[in-house]
Amino acid sequence: MYKLSVGALFKNESHSIREWIEHYLYHGVDHFYLIDDSSTDNSVEIIQPYIDKGIVTLFSGNNWGYYLGRQMNMYNHFIMPRLSESEWLLIVDLDEYVWSPQAIDLKIILGQCKHIGQIQINNTVFGSNGHIEQPKSLVAGFTKRSGMKPTITPECGNLKYFVNTSFNFTSLNIHHATFVDKNDEIHKFVMLDLPYFVLNHYNCQSVNFWNSVKCTRGDGDHYRIRTPDDFKIYDFNDVEDIELYEQNKELIARLGLI
């Protein structure tokens, strides 16, 4: 059984998928359940070595229709049946990097949470740093964020979560899982932000990435198309924050991303 796994849906993430996987491996993740949502770039080729090593289980979401709720349905079709293979499962997107100020290994914090069924984390939104071209590393390249940590606004409020698989769930949703026992939802469902967990959300990234990738691939959960004008909604550059970079700088150097 894996101690900690990550589940995610991705499409056209070749610019950062290697750094994202290595980030989570560095922070104590044992396994990944990844759903390829009809990528047209070389994302799958990049992660093939991790598949070959048994680190990544890859599912094909090709030809899945576009409708509101599709992301949840793919989680439940592909990942939900594998829930019993891990003690903890983290559901995030490919532009979301969860870490802890208290320990490099996320399992150290989770080891103190065995009585908790589900942990939600608010996101902290990072901006473009003024980048037109995409830098090699998300963590090293995008170090300016919203002045609000976590970033809780109508436009940018975003929650992701860990589930403790010793509890029972009926559904894995985008921002939370649904407990079988409603008493667990009342008593075993907590939010743990600072000082335990932080979710760096690299939403907009560079101008060229936004226009060439985000505005062309669609939204993972439905048919909504982003526009170039949407970029400024997420482009927060209020505060310099290199805390995750300080944790990851040796990893980033080893990956040759500087």
pTM over 0.75: yes
* The pLDDT of residue 220: 57
pLDDT digits (tens, 9 = 90+) for 78-127: 999 999 999 999 999 999 999 999 999 999 999 999 999 999 999 999 99
And the tokens for 229?
Answer: 């004008």
CATH number where 95 lies: 3.90.550
pLDDT tens-digit profile of 180-238? 999 999 999 999 988 999 999 999 999 999 999 888 766 655 556 778 888 998 999 99
Q: What is the pLDDT of residues 236-258, one digit of tens each?
A: 999 999 999 999 999 999 999 98
Longest Cα separation, the chain: 49
Higher pLDDT, 136 or 230: 136
User: Contact 190/109 with Cβ under 8 angstroms?
Assistant: no
For position 223, what pLDDT does the model report? 55
What are the two backbone dihedrals, phi and then psi, of residue 176, each rounded to the nearest 5 degrees?
A: -165, 165
pLDDT at 164 over 80: yes
Residue among 56, 54, 22, 45 at smallest CA distance from 249: 22
pLDDT band at 138, cuts 50/70/90? very high
How many structural domains is the chain composed of?
1
Tell me, letter by letter, the H, E, C secondary structure of 85-106: HEEEEEECCCCEEEECCCCCCH
Give the span between the Cα atoms of 172 and 79, in whole angstroms.
Answer: 8
**Cβ-contact 128, 142 below 8 angstroms:** yes
Range of the domain at 226: 2-254
Distance CA(13)–CA(34), nearest Å, equals: 12
Distance CA 5, CA 92 (A): 11
d(CA 238, CA 145): 6
What mean pLDDT comes out for the span 36-54?
Answer: 97
Q: What is the pLDDT of residue 63?
A: 83
